[in-house]
Chains A and B, each alone.
Chain A
Amino acid sequence: MTLAARPIEARPLMRRLAIAWEPYLYSAPTVILIVTVMLVPLVVGISYAFRDIQLLNPFSGGYVGLAHFRELWQDQAFFEALRNTVWWTGASVALQFFFGLILALLLNVPFAGRGLVQALVFLPWAVPSFLAGLNWAWLFNPVVGPLPHWLFALGILSSPENILSDPNLAMWGPIAANVWWGIPFFAITMLAAMQAIPADLYEAAAIDGAGPLQRFGSITLPFLAPTIAITVLLRTVWIANFADLIVVMTGGGPADRTQILASYIFTQAFKRLDFGYASAVSLVLLVLLLIYSLLIVALRQTVLNRS
């Protein structure tokens, strides 16, 4: 207070500089951290996409312009991985959301022992993803796991074989593991949003004549819509990049039928050691996800503006 009361001209130059720099000094550690661990790698990574970077080739490293992207355009494996990514992400998010919403609706009804059940239901979320992947791979293995035998008994499989080695069914293995693993996320967020809906709205609707389904449609869903939009966005971006389960369970096989872009990038970069090409694929994936995010955010904004 006493400093502020003094006229500025009266302060020595060093002191004036110190005051001017003070806020920047306070924020410097964070800014430096963000720049060094996020911004610099991002720029370097993007620059790789336009350079020929192969770890085992000492003559590589030169600027190649758009050569990687021209190669990408001809790359059947890339488009197959892109298709698989859409399939893997779409099925995983849709099923996670569907079961998560049902779970949240069940947990939103009072019953004895609800607290305990709520805590238990969220356990899968705490399991490391690669452990979940290994366990599910074993569950699908007819030698040690029960699932093929059950599916055979139910008539879904014609013989108790490992679906992970069937090119037409293999993707369902990682999807099943991913759904099991990701349901709690949707259940938590949906439950939190549901508990914020005023109870008297349901009572008013019940008196107005709405049955359970109509109450869900005209109160629960409109209230959940903004949360649904944001969680679906987050999960989509996350799952599209989420290669752990696939690398652990199928390694992208059989015959690349479970290869998604994230695991393709992993294969290009760390198996073929072609960092330049892997960066180009990453850049394409980044742009696609950005476009998708913008669409969802715009959609959410229109929904919010409407209500």
Chain B
Amino acid sequence: MASIDIAGITKNFGNIEVLHGIDLDIEDGEFIVLVGPSGCGKSTLLRMIAGLEEVSSGDITIAGRRVNDLAPRDRDIAMVFQSYALYPHMNVAGNMSYSLRLRRTAKDRIAQAVSGAAGKLGLEPLLDRRPKALSGGQRQRVAMGRAIVRQPKAFLFDEPLSNLDARLREQMRAEIKRLHAELGATSIYVTHDQIEAMTLADRIVAMQGGVVQQVGTPLDLYDRPANLFVAGFIGSPGMNFLPGRYDAAPGPAVILADGARIALPLDPGLAPGAEVTLGIRPEHVALGESGGMEAGVDLIEPTGLGIILHLSLQGVGLKAFTADRGVLNSGPSIRVSLPSAHLHLFDSAGNRVALR
């Protein structure tokens, strides 16, 4: 187990810089999720920590030791690949014990470690099988077993659940979380799936365009997104954004494009007339209350858990989520209001303006 410090990391592929100075301190035993759209540099960062990509500048420190120039095998980390990368000509036990055999570990210690890991992952009946005789979920488990047998300082996961179907992904997600709670190992997990990020992470690192956009606990990112990117990326269905202008008198408010006035809970200290974006999560849009604004109902998507309404508010699209099935019978229009307690405000640069 170890802490991992990343200081001023950049990465160039030829003349193109894909990571622009990443700083990140990961504490011992922490579960960190790197999340972002594809091409944001999250996998590259993970591969640099693993030693599979060279560091262009900056320092990576694992357990107090600078590892920039160390080979992957000398960093004492384990990695789970998206494709599992199991050795096809070795059986499950062989795959799991390979790293220990390379280190010339005593046979009884290897057997002990393999059966321990197999027990944790429910792989005992499969130890003699070869990877091609396993299902996707079983292969995933073997890949994890291979990582945990040698008790490394840190686990790196590169989109490990992307190749599984939705149900299995949910199951393995819970299993990874349980395993982390049990082993308490420092883990870095790369995914583009914000649900995986929310459910697994102690802290989420949201990345876009090779830059860290925000680091924080899942609820931090959900409740106080640092900018429009994080606000839009975290949460499903995504946050609604309504462009408008700030107005200070008579009270702090945002004037939407159609002239509607949305009151803000406090004075954000912006110049009157400044262009802003108002954000509100679909589940916070209040429906069917008197006094709100009139919105057209374009589409109704029942999910079972609740209902997603696609509304249009004076030509601007707005999504609302509610557990109230009464809205299924709503007519072509519905009254909506945007409660000031749940509003998010972003300035013209897209950065968060505190409202709470």
Contact = CB atoms under 8 A, between A and B. Distances in A.
Interface residues of B, number: 23
On chain A, which size bracket covers the interface? Answer: 10 to 19
Interface in B42-99: 50-52, 71-73, 77-79, 81, 83, 85-90, 98-99
A307 B88 contact: yes
B146 interface: yes
Interface in B86-123: 86-90, 98-99, 102-103
A307 B72 CA distance: 28
A91 interface: no
B261 interface: no
A307 B130 contact: yes
Nearest to B156: A207
Given A218-B98, A222-B89, A204 B103 contact: no
Interface string A211-238: 1001000110011000000000000000
B81 A200 contact: yes
Interface of A: 198, 200-201, 203-211, 214, 218-219, 222-223, 306-307
A200 B73 contact: no
A267 to B, nearest CB: 47
Contacts of B85: 198, 200-201, 203-204
A204 B79 contact: yes
B72 A206 contact: yes
A211 B73 CA distance: 8
Given A198-B83, A204-B87, A206-B73, 10 more contacts: A203-B81, A204-B81, A204-B85, A204-B86, A206-B51, A206-B72, A207-B78, A207-B79, A208-B146, A222-B89
A209 B99 contact: yes
Nearest to B94: A218
Contacts of A306: 89
B99 A208 contact: yes
Of A198, A204, A206, most buried by chain B (CB within 10 Å of CB) is A204
Given A214-B102, A222-B89, A207 B73 contact: yes
B154 to A, nearest CB: 11
A218 B71 contact: no
A207 B77 contact: yes
A182 B172 CA distance: 51
A208 B86 CA distance: 11
Contacts of A222: 89
Contacts of A204: 79, 81, 85-87, 146
Contacts of B86: 204
Nearest to A201: B85
Of A208, A219, A222, A307, most buried by chain B (CB within 10 Å of CB) is A208
Nearest to A199: B85
Given A218-B98, A307-B88, A307-B130, A210 B73 contact: yes
B89 A307 contact: yes
